[in-house]
């Protein structure tokens, strides 16, 4: 049994807006083991980003607020640390790369400046050492002529290269956990594949654990060991990759798998082939949040929200229905 690195229990995040309380994350629990890759999938707006940003305490406050739960990392609760302590964790123990490389780098600072500042802060390097290390890092993520380009500005790089720079930046302090929030969504298909390959290679070389957020179940299969499926701020299924593809336990997962990209599909088409729209997070329904779109829906689904329960070792599902038979469990 691998050692647990991060254990999230009952995480709950809300946004208190003028229109009402947005229940973005509603008590999610999962674990992440050492050097394991965990994928989080789900439709747009289901709380994936908010869920992981809560761990880093990067939610804009106000309007956001983490209203419950804990996240144990090496025996300490990330959610209860003081500001100074969480700052020490950010970038050093847990690093993050974001969806849009075009806007995630500061346009007025050189690449060198943006990579070295974390090294100087967390690794105690002086400027010379940090610059040398930055060049190594850029080489590590396959930026050609890294030494010559280190003093360039972000706008002088292409989108794929910027995402590589982001990865180099995130890995600069050898974090134990890398959180990748849809790092390839904004990129071309070929570049996407390169980035995925790069992350795989680096993971094998450096041995960190990864939380990989994506829309794309196709990428998940080759990269992750376990998958968490989110819907409307809830986890509705958690399974090993092969179990998820082999015997999906939640109607929503079934829908997602049914909408896997096919050759004849236009790129960028998102996972929307499930009929209907996700519920309004301000006014969540009483029962199962997926009930309104579910083909298996029972009376009970409209009354009670099903808890996440084990159906097999390492496989948890939150559904009243057995999807193979279509009857209540």
Partner 1 sequence: MTKYIVRRTLWFLPVLFAVTLFTFVLMRAIPGGPFSYAGDKSLPPQVVANIEAKYHLDWPMWKQFASYLLGDDIVDRAAYEESLALKRRPSRGLIRGDLGPSFRYRGQTVNDIVATTLPTSAQLGLMAVALALVIGIPAGTIAALKQNSAIDYMATFSAVFFASIPSVVLSPILIYVFALRLNWFPVASWGTKPPYFLGFLPQLAHLNLTFLKHAALPVFALGTGMAAGIARLTRGSLLQVIREDYIRTARAKGLKERLIIVRHALKNSMIPVATILGPLIAAVVTGTFIVEQIFGINGMGKHFVQSIGNRDYPVIIGVTLIYSVLLVIGNLMVDITYAWLDPRIRYD
Residues that bind ligand ATP (CB under 6 A): 15, 17, 22, 24, 42, 44-50, 60, 63-64, 182, 281
Verify binding: residue 18, partner 1, rule CB under 8 A: no
Residue 217 binding target from Mg ion, partner 1, ligand ATP, none, CB below 5 to 8 Å by type: none
Q: Distance between CA 239 and CA 242 in Å, rounded?
A: 8
Map residues 58-77 to x or -, x wherever contact with partner 1 holds by CB under 8 A. Answer: x-x-----------------
Report, in Å, the least distance between residue 157 CB and ligand ATP.
Answer: 23
- Span interacting with Mg ion, options 49-57, 245-253, 287-295, 312-320, rule CB under 5 A: 49-57
Cβ closest to Mg ion, residue 125 vs residue 167: 167
Contact 219, 33 (CB under 8 A): no
Among the residue ranges 55-63, 141-149, 237-245, 298-306, the one whose residues contact partner 1 (CB under 8 A): 55-63
Residue 124 binds which of partner 1, ligand ATP, Mg ion, none (CB < 5-8 A, kind-dependent): none
**208 forms part of the interface with partner 1 (CB under 8 A):** no
Specify the stretch interacting with partner 1 by CB under 8 A; choose among 98-106, 131-139, 227-235, 306-314: 98-106
Instruction: Return the number of the residue (64 or 248) whose C-beta is nearest ligand ATP.
Output: 64
The entry of Mg ion, partner 1, ligand ATP, none that residue 22 binds, CB within 5 to 8 Å by partner kind: ligand ATP
Q: Which stretch binds partner 1 (CB under 8 A): 66-74, 82-90, 142-150, 297-305?
A: 82-90
Q: Which of 146, 169, 236, 301 binds partner 1 (CB under 8 A)?
A: 169
| Of the residues 31, 45, 65, 153, which one makes contact with partner 1 according to CB under 8 A | 153
Long-range (24+ apart) CB contacts under 8 A made by 82-90 are 86/56, 86/57, 88/122, 89/56, 90/56, 90/58
Cβ at position 278, least distance to ligand ATP in Å = 8
Stretches 16-24, 116-124, 136-144, 288-296: which one binds partner 1 (CB under 8 A)?
116-124
Using CB under 8 A as the binding rule, the residues of this chain from 226 to 255 that contact partner 1 are none
Task: Using the minimum distance from each CB to Mg ion, give the nearer residue, 49 or 163.
Answer: 49
Dist. CA 321–CA 299, nearest whole Å: 11
CA dist 64 and 122 (Å) reads 28
Q: Measuring CA to CA, which residue among 76, 60, 65, 62 is closest to residue 12? A: 65
Interface with partner 1 (CB under 8 A): 56, 58, 60, 87-92, 95-96, 98, 100, 103-109, 117-118, 121-122, 153, 155, 166, 169
């Amino acid at each position: 049994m691998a050692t647990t690195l991060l254990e999230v229990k009952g995480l709950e995040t809300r946004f208190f807006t003028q229109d009402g309380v947005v229940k973005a994350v509603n008590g999610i629990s999962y674990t992440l083991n050492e050097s394991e890759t965990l994928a989080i999938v789900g439709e747009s707006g289901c709380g994936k980003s908010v869920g992981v940003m809560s761990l880093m305490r990067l939610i804009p406050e106000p309007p956001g607020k983490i209203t419950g739960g804990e996240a144990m990392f090496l025996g300490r609760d990330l959610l209860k640390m003081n500001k100074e302590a969480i700052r020490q964790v950010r970038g050093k123990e847990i690093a993050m790369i974001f969806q849009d490389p075009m806007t995630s780098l500061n346009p007025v600072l050189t690449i060198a400046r943006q990579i070295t500042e974390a090294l100087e802060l967390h690794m105690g390097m002086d400027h010379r050492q940090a610059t040398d290390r930055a060049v190594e890092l850029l080489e590590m993520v396959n930026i050609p002529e890294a030494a010559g380009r280190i003093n360039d500005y972000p706008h002088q790089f292409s989108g794929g290269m910027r995402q590589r720079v982001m990865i180099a930046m995130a890995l600069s302090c050898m974090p134990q956990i890398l959180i990748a929030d849809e790092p390839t969504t904004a990129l071309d298909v070929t570049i996407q594949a390169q980035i995925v390959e790069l992350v795989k290679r680096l993971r094998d070389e450096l041995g960190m654990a990864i939380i990989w957020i994506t829309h794309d179940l196709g990428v998940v299969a080759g990269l992750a060991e376990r998958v968490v499926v989110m819907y409307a701020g809830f986890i509705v299924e958690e399974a090993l990759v092969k179990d998820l593809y082999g015997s999906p336990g939640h109607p929503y997962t079934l829908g997602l798998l049914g909408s896997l990209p096919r050759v004849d599909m236009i790129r960028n088409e998102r996972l929307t082939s499930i009929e209907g729209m996700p519920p309004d997070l301000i006014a969540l329904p009483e029962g199962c949040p997926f009930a309104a779109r579910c083909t298996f829906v029972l009376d009970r689904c409209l009354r009670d929200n099903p808890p996440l329960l084990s159906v097999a070792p390492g496989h948890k599902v939150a559904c009243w229905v057995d999807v193979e038979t279509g009857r209540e469990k």
